[in-house]
Amino acid sequence: MSEVSFSKTIQLIHKEIQGKLNNTNSIINDYIASDIPIIPKLGQYFFKKRGKQLRPVMCLLSSKMINKNYTKLKTDTYMSAALEFIHAATLLHDDVIDKGAIRRGQKSINEIWNNKFSVLLGDFMFSKSFQLMTQGKSLKAMEHLSEVSSKISEGEFLQLSNENNVTLKSSEYIKIISLKTAELFGAAMKVPAILTGKKNQEIVNLYKLGINFGIIFQIIDDTLDYFGDKKTGKEIGKDFMEGKVTLPIILLLKKVSKPDYMIIKKLFTKNKRNQKDLNLILSKLKKNEIKRDCLNYAKKYQIKSEIILNKYDNKQSGLFKDLLVSSIQRKN
């Protein structure tokens, strides 16, 4: 397959589900309305830049891939909006936890207003997601989607309790990112199948597809934290400075000598790390070809996903395959 860029693939997917994505965004606009003036003001600011909208986009593309009556379905649009509200809530809370100052190329809510506003807006977004779930008119779909919120929180707790932990195993890392990132993608993929009463095996397969994509996406995100391009605006070494042990560090620690292992361990047990520390880590990552190892790690999940996607032979499954490949190749 010829190389296809991540942004181009996203554009093609957006085009494929444009009508329903427009409806999703109209629903989002309607649901950030409130008689309390500060709420729509903050909501409109937050959603001014909508980004890639990967979660609702994957929900709608999954729906089109598996449902012949896709154009007549309306419940999938409500669920895709609910997914975006859950994601928005987690971002608002993350910015408080991580002291994030920039979100989607503009100042974050907590940076302009303060942490209290960011937390409360996150809570508001969560409440709106549950309102939207009821519009899906499926108790089973609601159960699955509401369960995701608690799993994301569990992932955040697990990550927080493992900061500076250089003994973190790759299996534990996968568990963290599965809960924190991949579960929402898993829900996005399987909810359309639940809404239309598909067989359990298909629901499970679609869930696995979403989980695999989420794992790939987070692995590449964590890899770009060390190997990203500054020209694209990616801040290099943010995870390192925060003491987050991610896949590049886990794989590096498996390769280095005992003296280097002790040096890296010492860096992660420091209260604060500096640019000199980061430069040292970057040189060791490069020397040990860790970027290649991380990409190969992600490709295992791509192969598993393509086996499932081969069960579908349509334009949407082809777009999903392009999304998997381009996700691994992305530069930012």
Positive or negative: CA dihedral 152, 19, 61, 14: negative
Report pLDDT digits (tens) over 216-266.
Answer: 999 999 999 999 876 655 678 989 998 999 999 999 999 999 999 999 999
Distance, CA of 147 to CA of 304 (rounded, Å): 25
CA angle 103, 105, 106 (to 5 degrees): 70
Confidence of residue 296 (pLDDT cuts 50, 70, 90): very high
> 277: which residues sit within 8 A by CB, 6+ positions away?
240, 267, 270
- Give, in degrees to the nearest 5, the angle at Cα 105 between 99 and 107: 45
37-74 confidence digits (pLDDT tens): 999 998 898 888 888 999 999 999 999 999 999 999 99
pTM here is 0.94
Structure tokens at 259: 């003296």
- Kindly state the tokens that stand for 178: 């599965």
The yes-or-no verdict on residue 307 having pLDDT over 90 is yes
| Contact predicate 56/24, CB 8 Å | yes
Cβ burial of 146 (10 Å; 0-12, 13-18, 19+) is middle
311 alpha-carbon distance from chain centroid: 25
CA distance 220 to 70: 32
Model confidence pLDDT, tens digit, residues 187-223: 999 999 999 999 999 999 999 999 999 999 999 999 9
What is the pLDDT of the chain when averaged over all its residues? 92
Picking from 326, 293, 133, 320, the residue whose alpha carbon sits closest to that of residue 222 is 293
